[in-house]
Amino acid sequence: MQTFHITSPDEALRPIIQDKIDNLNKPKGSLGRLETLAMQICLVQQTLTPSLEHPCHLLLGGDHGIEHEGVSVSPREVTWQQMVNFTKGGGGVNMFCRQHGFDLRIVDVGVDYDLSQVAGIIDRKIAPGTRNFLYEPAMTQDEFDRTIHVGVDLVNECHAEGCRILCIGEMGIANTSPSSIWMSLFCHIPLDECIGAGAGLNSAGISHKRDVLRQALEHFLEQQPPKNSQLSPLNSQLTTDIIRYFGGFEMVAAIGAMLRAAEQKMLILVDGFIMTACALAACRLYPEAQAYMIFGHCGDESGHRRMLDALGAEPLLSLGMRLGEGTGALCAFPLVDSAVRMMNEMNNFDHANITKYF
């Protein structure tokens, strides 16, 4: 796997940023979460006057071999059908990108359909879907490495155009299944507590999904050497093996994108259950990456709150959303914008000729 050089933001500027925040013409601390958000953004950008130039949204598509086991209420053809729909501007992600001025890039990383001739879709296909991880690893080491590079290359293109804030979404039927297993292994939470309804499974469907994922996890654990039998602590190679064994191409590309964005000191807007699982995996590889992440919302998928808690992350919104595509993160963008505007547009007590009363 490619090596990333990610460093935590320099903290030397913190007291100066805090002084500016405290001297804006408002009661100290009165803008609450916007103030802590502004601090994070200023530290990432190492400035008192942050900006959000050229926001980009990567919509990554891929299919999953585990879908063949009936773990999703939606058939796999929905993946490619929705990808085509996105090119016509008809998805939730399209609406929110238009609303908030994001440059939307629709990318086929591993959809089980030929989309190479569809205008508006960037072709970065590794393979037409992953293998079925009930029986074998979802991808080979070579496929994993190439998929990481897809995410890196996409971020390089955005960064070259001046992007300072990146949002990532996904489209991949059955991708709550690998997300649940990652959550279980990386957070040491029993698998059953990590599995939810996905796109709308009923109780019988959830029970079947649990059975399939339990079997898949048991097969994986049987292949581990005795020293890894408890999977704790997780070393870098074992973490990579877990990601590769269960992950989807769209998910691994998202990890590569997050790590490269953190390396480039860009802000990263994190979406719902699947993208939080990708953020979790990225942070298990490079803990410093989390300083660049803004968690947009807590979704309605079972276990999302617990995964956020494991990261020590406090989401900006909790709207009961579980659409994916990056929509929850996009909905949170106005709050990020407000934090930046607070730093750049609010007056301070001296300039406003207001008595500072604290």
Dihedral of alpha carbons 245, 248, 253, 255, sign: negative
Q: How far apart are CA 356 and CA 28, in angstroms?
A: 10
Query: Within 13 Å of residue 66, how many CA atoms lie on the same side as its CB?
Result: 34
Measured in whole angstroms, how far is the alpha carbon of residue 281 from the centre of its chain? 10
Q: Report the pLDDT value the prediction gives residue 303, as an integer from 0 to 100.
A: 86
The domain limits of the chain are 56-334
Any residues with CB less than 8 A from the CB of 287 and at least 6 apart, and which?
none
Any residues with CB less than 8 A from the CB of 219 and at least 6 apart, and which?
134, 135
Q: Report the pLDDT value the prediction gives residue 199, as an integer from 0 to 100.
A: 65
Q: What top-level class would CATH report for the domain 56-334?
A: alpha beta
Q: Report the pLDDT value the prediction gives residue 275, as an integer from 0 to 100.
A: 97
pTM score: 0.94
Q: How far apart are CA 62 and CA 128, in angstroms?
A: 8
The amino acid occupying position 151 is G
Q: Report the pLDDT value the prediction gives residue 355, as an integer from 0 to 100.
A: 58
Q: Report the pLDDT value the prediction gives residue 228, as an integer from 0 to 100.
A: 60
- 223-233 confidence digits (pLDDT tens): 887 766 566 56
Residue 266: burial class (beta carbons within 10 Å; 0-12, 13-18, 19+)? buried
Q: Report the pLDDT value the prediction gives residue 201, as an integer from 0 to 100.
A: 81
Tokens at 155, concatenated: 């971020």
Question: Could you list the pLDDT tens digit for every one of the 358 residues in the chain?
Answer: 789 999 999 999 999 999 999 999 888 899 999 999 999 999 999 999 999 999 999 999 999 999 999 999 899 999 999 999 999 998 999 999 999 999 999 999 999 999 999 999 999 999 999 999 999 999 999 999 999 999 999 999 999 999 999 999 999 999 999 999 999 999 999 999 998 766 678 888 788 999 999 999 999 998 887 766 566 567 888 999 999 999 999 999 999 999 999 999 999 999 999 999 999 999 999 999 999 999 999 987 768 999 999 999 999 999 888 888 999 999 999 999 999 999 999 987 666 556 565 5
Q: Report the pLDDT value the prediction gives residue 137, as an integer from 0 to 100.
A: 97
Q: Which of 59, 117, 77, 120 is nearest to 325 (CA)?
A: 59
Name residue 131's beta-bridge partners: none
Burial per residue of 36-68, b for 16 or more beta-carbon CB atoms within 10 angstroms, e otherwise: ebbbbbbbbbeeeebebebbbbbbbbbbbbbbe
Tokens at 240, concatenated: 């990579």
Burial per residue of 164-191, b for 16 or more beta-carbon CB atoms within 10 angstroms, e otherwise: bbbbbbbbbbbbbbbbbbbbbbbbebeb
Tally Cβ neighbours within 10 Å of residue 342: 18
Which residues are identified as catalytic? 325
Question: Strand 267-270 relative to strand 56-62: parallel, antiparallel, unpaired?
Answer: unpaired
- 311-349 confidence digits (pLDDT tens): 999 999 998 888 889 999 999 999 999 999 999 999 876
